[in-house]
Structure 1
Amino acid sequence: MVKPKVKKIVLVQGNFDVLHPGHIRLLNFARECGTELHVAVNSDSSMNEKSRVKEKHRLEMVQSLECVDKAFLTDLPPTEVVTLIQPSIIVKGKEFEDRINLEEIPLKKLGGKLIFGSGEFESNAEQFIKRTNPVKNNFDFKEVKEFISRHQIQQTEIYNTLEKIKKLNVLVIGEVIVDEYVQGTAIGLSQEDPTIVMTPNKTDTFLGGAAITAGHIKAIGAGSVNLISVLGEDKAASYVKKHIDAYKIETSLYSDNSRPTPLKTRYRAGSKTLLRVNNVRQHKISLDLQASILSKVTSLISELDLVVFSDFNYGLLPQTLVENITKLCESKSVKVVADSQTSSQVGDISRYLGMDLITPTEREVRVALNNPDDGLIILAQKLAKKSEAKNIVITLSEEGLLIHLPSNDFTSWENDKLPAINKHAMDPAGAGDCFLAASSLAICTNSSIWEACYLGSLAAACQVGSLGNTPLSRNSFEKTINDSFR
């Protein structure tokens, strides 16, 4: 039986007049010394010198740090704060090591320990700031406004679409991925070989893949969302099961001990990813698992409005299973969309036949068609003919996206484009998932492809403003919609 973790409060007290990297290094070090970090911020009246920043703002800056669990203003001297908080550890700067530290007396009576942190490692202060709202002043709506005008998109219709989305029942099928971000500082090249050496500062873990697509769909407002996936029997699977409930979705998670739960670890320094390590297998799931998944879809199909294939080509969606589910959806007039990612493995988006929407990258289209030569428009039309997709969106990273609407007989077409709206993306990893979620929901309400891509682009712009792929904030999404019409 695993023993519960003993609570170990770490206390830091100071003025934090202007929050600088030295403060952040010390506080991050302090957090690693225990289970909770409490920070006492000295009030204006208790400081010997007048602060350049008012106490309210000094407190808010400390509270904005991810490493801080609790922060509060105090008029009390350090000795009395120790008596009040009763910490296990106090952390002070290295410069206090040779001084008299009066708080050490009551701390020792509690059996606590005084630690001096040097904060010697380099760090980017912004990586430790909590990001509660990804929408900043990074959005460029100029081309979006022109797109709105070209397609006569009305704000009232967009909000009608958001209301209709609340009535939709959605099923997402695909691989759940656990995404780890190891944030650190690149300190130079190894002397033994040309390898970048980095010091890890913190690790953030997120649910990705089909899980985050389902999470986005629910966060945008869908009435109910089901997720079907297959996990290994490992720590990553335990993490998924422990955290998936936060997305407020229904799940059918099958176990397969022949494969690990997909785990992707990104090593980052500043805003750049140095290396990504994938722990995955790509063999097809067993026929028994395929039968179980098809049976589950059959039991849900009469209540569904939309099925989303979120395929990372790790073997969860063999062709026969895809075809059987697609036929089932067709028989019940359920809309179907697909994304088949091939960023680091072989895949074929064209095998998803007759989809209402597919959203490949340019590389994924060229891989599917074995076509390195044609321009984007011809490429899109050839994919439309091969896949018989009703709508195609080719995502182009920082260049935005190309929208391709073929005619019913695939002999003619209409195209348009949208730019990448967020010009200062922090982490583009979740853009495609968020775009797919918003645009497919809009298509399911019978909105035009232009309205769907408008909503998808705004959703993606909101998403890439923060590190890690977490469910979209509905409030941020609606604010961005309002801003785009001003």
Structure 2
Amino acid sequence: MRTSPPDFSRARVLVVGDVMLDRYWTGPVQRISPEAPVPVVRVRADHVRAGGAANVALNVASLGARVRLIGVVGRDEAARQLDEALDGTGIAAEWIRTERLPTITKLRVLSRNQQLLRMDFEEALDVAGAFDREALRDLFEQRLADCDVVVCSDYGKGTLSDVADLIAAARAAGKPVLVDPKGTDYARYAGASLLTPNVAELEAVAGAARDEADLLGRAEALQARLGLDGLLLTRSEKGLSLLRSAQAPLHLPAVAREVFDVTGAGDTVIATLAAALAAGVELPEACRLANLAAGVVVGKLGTASVSVAELDAALHPQGLDAAVLDEPALLARVAAEREKGRRIVVTNGCFDLLHVGHVKYLEAARALGDLLIVAVNDDDSVRRLKGPSRPVNACADRMRVLAALRSVDCVVPFAEDTPARLIASVLPDVLVKGGDYRPEQIAGHDVVTASGGEVVVLDFHAGYSTTGMLERAKS
């Protein structure tokens, strides 16, 4: 499992599909219209954003990947505003211009972050002569050599009327093709690498599912019928499910802490997926990154994108649960921290009844480096060391209390009498122990010093001990 985002800087993504201009009028509502029972919005701000396939491209660019965008626009003011919205984003946008039709525009009216009305300005692009389809195919084929992954962003407006030809051309060029589908004619997506439908879109094509097993069965059958490498089912509050031939489904639970606006979340999923694959990430890990990115973007208003810094923060959530780790997760965290040049400190103990002596000791240990890991004896280990009446508190409770301390960054259990094996795996820069020890007596001393680390003995604070606390409680 990744502990940091990949290097997106060399990733190259080609996005083709329905581009549009998202426009927002916002202002307060202070009265109801005398003409009809509708709110009157006093418009105070007018914002424009790139939407549709252009928002997919923005999401790719926000991660630092190189992206080229192909779409259809009119010769109008909306097209000029779309160009302006994309200016400075690093997106290489190339348009097929149509004389007959306007640039697709969606105007939303909002008050206090609530959408009151949406107006769509558009005409179907899939009618004969709406735009030069041959010119779009030629431009697409010319740009295939300069990309690692292709995204077809279909909003059902008609830009991708010939999507089957585009998929065939991309696959012939050895390029993976990800499709965000629309409509019920999925046969035209046959041969794509991966589709990203939501549940409603899947059921519109494959039929309503009776239950979870039936839903996944229908998704797998659709994947097989279309000859896809995989199908990523986006499931709102249930997260994502990745289905691949002859492999067990990978279910990724939703990670959003607060859902503010789901607009554009699908764009973020496919954009992050494409950028990660183009950066060399394997499909399951790319899906995990896409799931995290979706959790970030639904906490924002309107169409939005996710930065590398936000993705990195999502990989390292704050809080008690994030600090309590099993050994594989701990080793992944240590590797990530080492890449950043952090100094790793490890100490260990039972920590059965936490007292002020422990707190002062852990604060002193944390001062020796950048990341303090506390290894905790599990319950069986404590019983072997302290007797059948211990521990007083279960291992999970002891770890959670330790995780609540400001000085502690990570807490991990170990089952042996000493943490020597765990220490050999972590190889900290500093190994700390409290008490009247010589450094060479401390478990893990040999491997730490052999790897260039140091072993530090800290004094325990007099007058504090778990045994003493228990004896006083009995008296």
For 1:338, the equivalent position in structure 2 comes to 179
| Residue in structure 1 matching 2:52, options 206, 209, 216 | 209
**2:406 pairs with 1:406:** no
Q: How far does residue 347 in structure 1 lie from its aligned partner after superposition?
A: 5.1
Q: Is the contact made by 2:17 and 2:53 (CA closer than 8 Å) also made in structure 1?
A: yes
What is the CA deviation profile of residues 314-354 of structure 1, one whole-angstrom value per residue up to 9, with x for unaligned ones?
A: 11111xx322221221222111001124xxxx454453112
* 1:365 and 2:199 are equivalent in the alignment: no
Q: How many residues align?
A: 317
**Aligned to 2:273, which of 429, 435, 439?**
439
Q: Does 1:242 align with 2:71?
A: no
Deviation sequence 1:131-168 (CA, Å, 0-9, x none): xxxxxxxxxxxxxxxxxxxxxx142xx54xx12x3222
CA contact (8 A) 1:181 1:268 kept: yes
Q: Gapped runs of 5+ residues in structure 2?
A: 324-475
Letter in 2 for 1:442: A
Tell me what 1:314 maps to: 157
Q: How much does 1:377 deviate?
A: 1.4
Letter in structure 2 aligned against 1:259:
L
Change (3 A) 1:473 1:446: closer
Task: Output the CA distance in 2 between the equivalents of 1:225 and 1:211.
Answer: 10
Structure 1 residues 154, 317: closer, same or farther in 2, change over 3 A? closer
Q: What corresponds to 2:293 in structure 1?
A: 459
CA distance in 2, matches of 1:404, 1:309: 19
* 2:219 alignment counterpart: 380
What's the Cα RMSD here? 2.5
The 8 Å contact of residues 49 and 85 in structure 2, kept in 1 or not, is answered as: no
The residue number in structure 1 matching 2:372 is none
SS of the equivalent of 1:301 reads helix
Partner of 1:105: none
Q: Does 1:290 align with 2:290?
A: no
2:14 paired with 1:171: yes
How has the CA–CA distance of structure 1 residues 461 and 350 changed in structure 2, closer, same or farther, with 3 Å as cutoff? farther
Matched with 1:483 is 317
1:231 is aligned to 73
CA 1:154–1:467: 2 relative to 1, 3 Å: closer
- Three-state SS of the structure 2 residue aligned to 1:215 is helix
How far residue 395 of structure 1 moved from its aligned partner, in angstroms, is 1.8
Aligned to 1:252: 94
Structure 1 residues 265 and 406, CA gap change in structure 2 (3 angstroms)? same
Q: CA 1:240–1:347 in 2, change beyond 3 Å: closer, same or farther?
A: farther
Report the structure number with the largest CA radius of gyration: 2
Once the two structures are superposed, residues 152-208 of structure 1 have per-residue CA deviations (whole angstroms, 9 ceiling, x without a partner) of x142xx54xx12x32222110012111112223344554554434433332221111
Q: Which residue of 2 aligns with 1:354?
A: 191
Q: Aligned residue for 1:138? A: none
Deviation digits for residues 403-458 of structure 1, max 9, x if unmatched?
13231xxxx55223333322323322121111111112223455343311210122
- The 8 Å contact of residues 48 and 85 in structure 2, kept in 1 or not, is answered as no
**What SS does the aligned partner of 1:246 have?**
coil
TM-score, with normalisation over the residues of structure 1? Answer: 0.60
- Contact persistence 1:339–1:359 (CA under 8 A): yes
Secondary structure of 1:221's partner? coil
Deviations 1:223-264 (A, max 9, x none): x21111110122111101223222212121111122211111
Residues 391, 449 of structure 1: 8 Å contact kept: no
1:370-394 Cα offsets, whole Å, 9 max, x none, are 5465643133223213332222222
**Within-5 A mapping of 1:89-108:** none
Output the CA distance in 1 between the equivalents of 2:190 and 2:275. 19
User: 1:305, 1:334 within 8 Å by CA — same for their partners in 2?
Assistant: yes
Instruction: Report the alpha carbon displacement of residue 479 of structure 1 after superposing the two structures with TM.
Output: 2.4
1:309 Cα deviation from its structure 2 partner:
0.2
Further displaced range: 447-456 or 170-179: 447-456
Given residue 244 of structure 2, which amino acid in structure 1 is its aligned partner?
Answer: P
C-alpha separation between the residues in 2 aligned to 1:331 and 1:457? 29
Q: Which residue of 2 aligns with 1:327?
A: 168
Partner-residue secondary structure (3-state), 1:426: coil
Q: Is residue 207–residue 470 contact of structure 1 (8 Å, CA) maintained in 2? A: no
Helix, strand or coil: the match of 2:144? helix
Within a 5 Å distance, the mapping from 1:142-181 to structure 2 comes to: 153-155=1-3, 158-159=4-5, 162-163=6-7, 165-181=8-24
CA distance in 2: counterparts of 1:338 and 1:185, whole angstroms: 39
Aligned pairs for 1:266-277 (under 5 A) are 266-277=108-119
Instruction: Return the letter of the residue paired with 2:85.
Output: H
User: Contact (CA 8 Å) 1:271, 1:426: kept in 2 or not?
Assistant: no
Q: Residue 228 of structure 1 aligns to a residue in which SS? A: strand
Preserved contact between residue 231 and residue 254 of structure 1 (Cα < 8 Å): yes
SS in 2 for 1:231: strand
Letter in 2 for 1:195: V
2:222 is aligned with what amino acid?
Answer: L
- Do 1:348 and 1:367's aligned partners in 2 also have CA atoms closer than 8 Å? no
Q: Is the 1:187–1:197 Cα contact (8 Å) retained in structure 2?
A: yes
Q: For 2:226 and 2:280, how far apart are their aligned partners in 1?
A: 21
CA contact (8 A) 1:427 1:468 kept: yes
Q: Would the alpha carbon gap of residues 288 and 243 (structure 1) be closer, same or farther in structure 2, given more than 3 Å must change?
A: closer
Q: Distance in 2 between matches of 1:283 and 1:308?
A: 19
Distance in 1, Cα, partners of 2:120 & 2:271? 24
Q: Write the distance in 2 (CA, Å) between the matches of 1:400 and 1:441.
A: 23
Provide the residue aligned with 1:418 in structure 2: 252
Summarize the Cα distance change of 1:234–1:438 in structure 2 as closer, same or farther, 3 Å threshold.
same
Q: Which amino acid aligns with 1:276?
A: R
Q: Retained in 1: the 8 A contact 2:209–2:218?
A: no
Specify the alignment match of 1:147 in structure 2: none
Conserved 8 A contact 2:25-2:45: yes
In the alignment, which residue of structure 1 is the partner of 2:302?
468
